[in-house]
Structure 1
Amino acid sequence: MDLILGADHGRRRSVRTEPTQRRSSQRLDALLDAAAEIVDELGFERLTTQMVAERAGASIGTVYRYFPDRVAVLHALRERSVRRFRERLAEAVDGAELVAWWDVVDLALDVCTELYRDEPGFAVVYSAPREASEVDGEPEIAHRVARLLEHDFGVIDDAEVRLRLGIALEIGATLIHRAFVRDGAGDARYLDEAHRVVRDYLGRHLADQLAAAPAA
């Protein structure tokens, strides 16, 4: 699980005041819950700090205690959504019987789909730039999956693997996002294509590395 949940490279927090007590943490989550509902109903472009305050039943001063503006609210909502994706993926990996390298990537796509269905505001993840590693500029999730593939299946974690994983997961995330734009429950055709296209892409561009990797 640590391979998925490890610390971010150069991660910057969007929250102005970090909650130090349970009550403050609950207040912050309530504000983000309110923002998530608004994003799902109206889209992230129309969200305002006043809307967040009203929906959460809080004063505007409470919102500004944590966030300087609406952009910071959206960034914090995205950070929370990304964290929950990683937590869900770590749990899925920990509880799964991984037979081949594809099982890891397959789980990542499945977890992304699940969160579109049951994590309010999760679509905001797609609307902002991905977290890039300071090591090589590739998406942070590509580094995490690469480390897991190396640990469990002997796929060497190198620049080429991270590049191809980053591209593949970006393609998959785009198709999953499009599936939910087309259909609130997720267009099954797009979801199926996300898995097929990503597997074909990785199988084609990492054929040598993946063929050399032993089964679990």
Structure 2
Amino acid sequence: MRRTPVQQRSRERVERILDACAELLDEVGSDALTVTAVARRAGVPTGTVYQFFDGRIGLLRHLALRHLDILIDRLRARAAGEAELSWPRAGEIVIEETVQMRKVIPGFTVVDFGEARPGGEKYLPEGTTEAGGDILAERLYRFAVEEAGLPPLADPYRVTSLAIQTTAVGIDLAFRDSREGDAAMVEQTRRLLGAYFADAARRSRAEPPEPEDPALPDQDGGR
């Protein structure tokens, strides 16, 4: 963000701007989205949007980060209700929550965690690990191990990044023609991800992962 809101009134204004952005994405799509339209829907001057966000792409990036925060919160609630969590089961939960968010969270179908358009810029920032993970891979993996108590994986950010990309393809196919999604395609995606995580967990037990750098910044702040 260009400017971090400090006062409650400013924070509420920022949330109203993001809400307006999400609503318009569902109505017109990302290509037709404009800062002027977002400002009009939010009931604020266009200059106010630019005070906080770096234009249209800045809005989309911050909305993606807000969606990530929502996903982590939903996963936290689901994990708390699991008596015994495994990597395959964790993958199932991620798919279930992602599918549900597609149905009920405004703007999520257009802006989840993929690449921005135009230009192929990523909505989410790059990660901090040398292994090539992005913020989504880092936050999901850290949540799984540090909060949900799953055993560490060998080469975790490559494993998590590939799982994310594979799931994204399956979910996109499932929702290509219907907002409700193709249940059979979702099930195929669930089976694929479950088998992948089962194999990754098995390999990790055979080859224990190297300890992480303790100086690595915590990404739970996300933004």
TM-score normalised to the size of structure 2?
0.77
Which whole-Å deviations, capped at 9, do the CAs of 1:68-123 have from their partners, x for residues lacking one? 31111111111111111112112221232234332212111111111111111113
What letter is aligned with 2:128? E
Deviation larger for 25-34 or 54-63 = 54-63
Q: 1:50 to 1:141 in 2, by over 3 A?
A: closer
Q: 1:70 to 1:145 in 2, by over 3 A?
A: closer
Q: Give me the identity figure in percent.
A: 27
Query: Where in structure 1 do 4 or more consecutive aligned residues deviate above 6 Å?
Result: none
Aligned to 2:218: none
Whether the 8 Å CA contact 1:164–1:206 is kept in 2: the answer is no
Q: Secondary structure, in 3 states, of the residue corresponding to 2:31? A: helix
Q: Secondary structure, in 3 states, of the residue corresponding to 1:46? A: coil
What letter is aligned with 2:20? A
2:112 equivalent among 111, 125, 133: 125
More helix by share: 1
Partners of 2:113 and 2:173 in 1: CA distance: 10
2:4 equivalent among 7, 18, 34: 18
TM-score normalised to the size of structure 1?
0.80
User: How many residues matched?
Assistant: 197
Partners of 2:51 and 2:190 in 1: CA distance: 42
Partners of 1:188 and 1:131 in 2: CA distance: 31
Partners of 2:72 and 2:35 in 1: CA distance: 27
What letter is aligned with 1:125? D
2:153 equivalent among 154, 157, 164: 157
Whether the 8 Å CA contact 1:102–1:199 is kept in 2: the answer is yes
1:42 equivalent among 25, 28, 45: 28
Partners of 2:152 and 2:113 in 1: CA distance: 29
Aligned to 1:11: none
5+ residue gaps, structure 1, are 1-14
Q: 1:169 to 1:98 in 2, by over 3 A?
A: farther
What letter is aligned with 1:207? R
Q: Secondary structure, in 3 states, of the residue corresponding to 2:89? A: helix
Aligned to 1:191: 186
CA RMSD of aligned residues (A): 2.4
Q: Does residue 22 of structure 2 align to residue 59 of structure 1? A: no
Whether the 8 Å CA contact 1:98–1:104 is kept in 2: the answer is no
Q: 1:149 to 1:63 in 2, by over 3 A?
A: closer
5+ residue gaps, structure 2, are 116-121, 209-223
